[in-house]
Amino acid sequence: MSNTQSDNQNTTVESNVRPEYDREIQKIADYVLGYSVDNDSENSEEAWTTARHCLMDTLGCGLLALRFPECTKHLGPDCEGQLTPNGARVPGTTHRLDPIKAAFDIGCMVRWLDYNDTWLAAEWGHPSDNLGGILAVADYISQQNISRNLKPLTMRDVLEAMIMAHEIQGVMALENSFNRVGLDHVFLVKLASTAVVAKLYNLPRERIMAAISQALVDGQALRTYRHAPNAGSRKSWAAGDATSRAVRLVDITRRGEMGIPGALSAPQWGFYDVLFSHTNKDLATKPEEDRHFKFQREFGSYVMENILFKLSFPAEFHAQTACEAAVILHPRIDDRIDEIEKIVLTTHESAIRIISKEGTLANPADRDHCLQYMVAVPLLTGDLMAENYEDDYHEQHHILIDGLRRKMVVEEDVSYTKDYHDPSKRSIANAIQVFFKDGTCTDKVVIEYPIGHKRRRAEGIPILEAKFRANLATRFIESRCQEIIELCDNQAKLEQTPVHEFMDLFMTN
């Protein structure tokens, strides 16, 4: 055969040599199977303690969301009257569901008010969203085990899964910007939930890799529902959908579904070529290896130890320090609202790109992702609550709020942007200064680190605990609240508690 004939054949025949699993898939699988928080981290105690606080805060946010009908309409069985023996429970409700739907419900609850934890880097997100899949599956496995006279999972298993899910999502977010190619960060929830749920089911390495590959080739959500002019309530249940989908993909894999080893790297058809290159001109011109996922650090427990808690305001995290500054300024301008000429908001590039917007705000999801709205309310009232985003509140107060919004000028301080990306700082700085018509002005109030930042842990944890207590009280009688608080305050006792017994405490009957 001539060389010409050989070359012609090569252009019409695909090589069918099945590859090894992509190294990134192997890396995630090996982490969930082999990592030990106690053996590998010098800060293991901090990781376990922070995971406990994260569990408390996340569940509390979910309970608070049950006060909002737009959230609760998504909850419950897919088919009315459906009964699921040993089904996973949904905290704060009477629902007992299959683990796939329970994962959706829990994930929907904890994300609804945008009040759970946050991670900010090249990509953003909320690693506690993974609790939907983790808690639903752990409760289901525990009840199944008890029915078969086997040992249940314990809350230590849940905390470990949370640490690992936080780490996968957070480390992947450090240098990989999915938002720049139009993908939503809930992709990372699906990826992390898939890996840790597969571990909870005690799947072997090959099955865990197969499940991860399914998450990678699955359809990925577009970010458009988070941005003007399409911002809407899907962003409040998208993470529940992602963690639920992870549970479904693991279930398929448990039944023997084959994996897709080259899910990331397959030329033309893989994730990198389809979703991480051609939709972005800058990426498309880079060498192939530069279009692959970057790992700034090895997987450990770094993300849980450094997680950002939303403690004071149910607001998109890039605005948290702006809200703090606005609360400080409120008493200084409260009697001079009509005299304001302009308000200068100094911020970082990510806040400008994500939440700085003008014009009509169509719904609560639109308002809680508007920097100017989130500053205007506490400037006027001295606080910001979930109710301030609702339509009835907006209808009553939009003239004052929109009046202040129109006077706001948003500017970037490049040093704020630099410190935002600095691994040793990870600040989320904002500043506000109010100028009056008579030529006077307030001081420029600068807040670099929000109350939920690791640098303010000692100051923040008492607020987190008070927030948890208040959120419990929206759903349970005092004696039940106290029982839950006493358990959650005791690290050793909580870790030893069987998951199904822990979940018993959160049911409404």
- The pLDDT score that the predictor gives to residue 289 is 59
Assign 278 to helix, strand or coil.
Answer: coil
* Residue-by-residue pLDDT tens, the chain, 509 positions: 444 444 555 566 777 888 899 999 999 999 999 999 988 656 789 999 999 999 999 999 999 999 999 999 999 999 988 889 899 999 999 999 999 999 999 999 999 998 999 998 889 899 999 999 999 999 999 999 999 999 999 999 999 999 999 999 999 999 999 998 999 999 999 999 999 999 999 999 999 999 999 999 998 999 999 988 898 899 999 999 999 999 999 999 999 999 999 999 999 999 999 999 754 455 555 555 567 999 999 999 999 999 999 998 988 899 999 999 999 999 999 999 999 999 999 999 999 988 999 999 989 989 999 999 999 999 999 999 999 999 999 999 999 999 999 999 999 999 999 999 888 888 999 999 999 999 999 999 999 999 999 999 999 999 999 999 999 999 999 999 999 999 999 999 999 999 999 999 999 97
- The pLDDT score that the predictor gives to residue 81 is 85
Chain centroid offset of residue 125 CA:
4
Q: Which two tokens stand for residue 325?
A: 């500054």
For residue 344, the cross-strand partners are: 409, 433
Residue 345 backbone dihedrals phi, psi, to 5 degrees: -105, 115
Residue 505 backbone dihedrals phi, psi, to 5 degrees: -65, -20
Amino acid 476 reads F
Pairing assessment for the beta strands 340-347 and 408-412 based on DSSP bridges? parallel
DSSP-derived secondary structure letter, 489: T
Where are any strands of DSSP class E within 259-418? 340-347, 408-412
- The pLDDT score that the predictor gives to residue 2 is 47
| Beta carbons within 8 Å of 166's beta carbon, 6+ residues apart | 51, 54, 119, 127, 128, 130, 192, 303, 304, 307
Q: What is the pTM of this model?
A: 0.88
- The pLDDT score that the predictor gives to residue 239 is 96
Task: Bin 125: left if φ > 0, else alpha if -120 < ψ < 50, else beta.
Answer: left
- The pLDDT score that the predictor gives to residue 411 is 97
Where are any strands of DSSP class E within 74-163? 88-89, 96-97, 119-120, 124-125
Residue 328 backbone dihedrals phi, psi, to 5 degrees: -65, -40
- The pLDDT score that the predictor gives to residue 1 is 46
Distance of alpha carbon 187 from alpha carbon 498, whole angstroms:
30
Q: State the distance between the two ends of the chain, measured CA to CA, in whole angstroms.
A: 78
Q: Which helix (H) or strand (E) holds 432?
A: strand 430-436
